[in-house]
């Protein structure tokens, strides 16, 4: 469920017409719904009521400070994968003891930042990483609390580019080597082993891969405890999908049953890292139609949004529902069209042969659904197109939470070498 609905003949964000925001902010722009963010967090966290659990929102899905603070105010923690994301989490008010630091390529500088902040734990992904973390922590006179991320060699049955739990993926340590790796890490100074971490991929719509991975993790926890390790935490990652294309993924209640079936009597703190599930359907990308072009064999709807604003269709063949702002166009006659952007790439195509309103014309507005995750965070300035604004709505109020930079500001990022003059 989200809070983008048709009222009075047009698409609203909570109590505000998107058309009115577009008139003031300009297009394209991202719009997020506070009510949807709050609802999704409460539904997910509520699925683990009565359980020792920590929900750490994965900032990589949407790292706007206002989005993070909205969730932090509800008690949410943060899963970060860079020093920059750590800074964002802290700046938005996430307590350091609710932050986990993931990522396959942490630098010594990032490790120091996490240790200085006093984060909950590092999710370590390799033997060289734990050795470097030991050196950094020892030099600082600190102890790094860690969980090794284990690669369970489980097929998540998702897109190849967002699958992370198979043996050929770069993430985690092989589950077959866990006993040796934990044993060697336990001897390192400045390292305190507390847990096991697993994350098998993103946009999962089937619970069976989770069941397989979680059962394997359960076996590892029991094995490690038998070998003398005090395992008190299990990080089960994230990855629960959202309904981009009509596919109905499992809800958090069903997901929690699978998790608790495997972990329920281990007496561990369970850590979860939802991202897309929290913010995906809490956002839309609003764009204006520039032209409708009838070619020899295809009809093209050309928008002012482009692949640099929303990369998922070009990068992952990702599906996004595209709704007209006017309800009469939504309910009126539909016909096939390609929905494209203005960038000089054939890949700048959002949809092919998609049923779209036959009456749509230049100046009309459309909204890309499910754009709250991996939209603005993956945007670029390709073709010297400024990043688009982000807007947060709460009831009948809205605020611009990231402005559109001017071309002058964009050009100032480049520095002319002295031999070329000013």
In which order are the strands placed within the sheet that holds 16-17? 4-7, 10-13, 16-17
Count the alpha carbons within 13 Å of 204 in the hemisphere toward its beta carbon. 28
How many angstroms separate the CA atoms of 64 and 351, rounded?
27
How many angstroms separate the CA atoms of 356 and 293, rounded?
13
Phi and psi, residue 215, nearest 5°: -65, -35
How many angstroms separate the CA atoms of 16 and 402, rounded?
19
Give the chain's count of helices (H) and strands (E): 13, 21
Q: Which residues are catalytic, by number?
A: 344
**Three-state secondary-structure class, residue 321:** coil
How many angstroms separate the CA atoms of 182 and 5, rounded?
51
| Residue whose C-alpha is closest to residue 150's, from 131, 123, 128 | 123
Strand stretches in 25-74, DSSP E: 29-33, 53-58
Contact call for residues 308 and 343 (beta carbons, < 8 A)? yes
DSSP letters for 15-26: TEEHHHHHHHH-
User: Going by DSSP bridges, is the β-strand pair 29-33/121-124 parallel, antiparallel, or unpaired?
Assistant: unpaired
Residue 126, number of CB atoms within 10 A of its CB: 18
C-alpha dihedral (10, 13, 15, 19), degrees to nearest 10: -50
Helix boundaries (H) for 125-275: 127-140, 178-185, 208-226, 252-263
**Three-state secondary-structure class, residue 208:** helix
């Amino acid at each position: 469920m989200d809070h983008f609905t048709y009222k009075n003949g047009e698409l609203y964000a909570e109590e505000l017409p998107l058309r009115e925001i577009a008139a003031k902010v300009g297009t394209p722009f991202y719009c997020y719904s506070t009510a949807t963010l709050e609802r999704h967090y409460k539904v997910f966290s509520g699925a683990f009521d009565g359980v020792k659990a920590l929900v750490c929102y994965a900032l990589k899905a949407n790292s706007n400070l206002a989005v993070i603070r909205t969730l932090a105010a509800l008690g949410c923690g943060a899963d970060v994968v860079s020093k920059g994301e750590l800074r964002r989490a802290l700046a938005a008010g996430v307590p350091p003891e609710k932050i986990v630091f993931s990522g396959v390529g942490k630098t010594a500088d990032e490790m120091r930042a996490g240790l200085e902040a006093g984060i909950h734990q590092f999710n370590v992904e390799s033997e060289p990483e734990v050795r470097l973390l030991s050196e950094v922590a020892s030099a600082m006179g600190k102890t790094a609390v860690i969980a090794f991320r284990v690669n369970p060699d489980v097929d998540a049955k998702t897109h190849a580019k967002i699958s992370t739990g198979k043996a050929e993926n770069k993430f985690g340590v092989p589950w077959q080597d866990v006993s040796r790796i934990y044993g060697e890490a336990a001897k390192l100074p400045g390292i305190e082993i507390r847990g096991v971490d697993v994350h098998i991929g993103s946009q999962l719509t089937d619970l069976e891969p989770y069941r397989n991975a979680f059962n394997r993790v359960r076996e590892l926890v029991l094995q490690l405890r038998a070998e003398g390790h005090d395992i008190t935490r299990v990080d089960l990652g994230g990855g629960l999908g959202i309904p981009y294309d009509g596919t109905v993924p499992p809800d958090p209640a069903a997901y929690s049953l699978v998790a608790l079936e495997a972990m329920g009597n281990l007496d561990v703190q369970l850590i979860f890292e939802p991202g897309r599930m929290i913010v995906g359907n809490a956002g839309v990308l609003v764009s204006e139609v520039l032209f409708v072009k009838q070619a020899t064999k295809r009809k093209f709807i050309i928008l002012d949004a482009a692949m640099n604003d929303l990369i998922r269709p070009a990068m992952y063949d990702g599906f996004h529902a595209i709704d007209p702002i006017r309800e009469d166009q939504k309910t009126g006659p539909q016909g096939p069209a390609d929905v494209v952007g203005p960038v000089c790439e054939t890949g700048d195509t959002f949809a092919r042969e998609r049923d779209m309103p036959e009456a749509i014309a230049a100046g009309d507005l459309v909204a890309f659904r499910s754009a709250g995750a991996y939209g603005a965070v993956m945007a670029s300035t390709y073709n010297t197109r400024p990043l688009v604004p982000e807007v947060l709505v709460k009831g009948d109020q809205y605020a611009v939470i990231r402005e559109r930079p001017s071309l002058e500001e964009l050009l100032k990022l480049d520095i002319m070498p002295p031999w070329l003059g000013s």
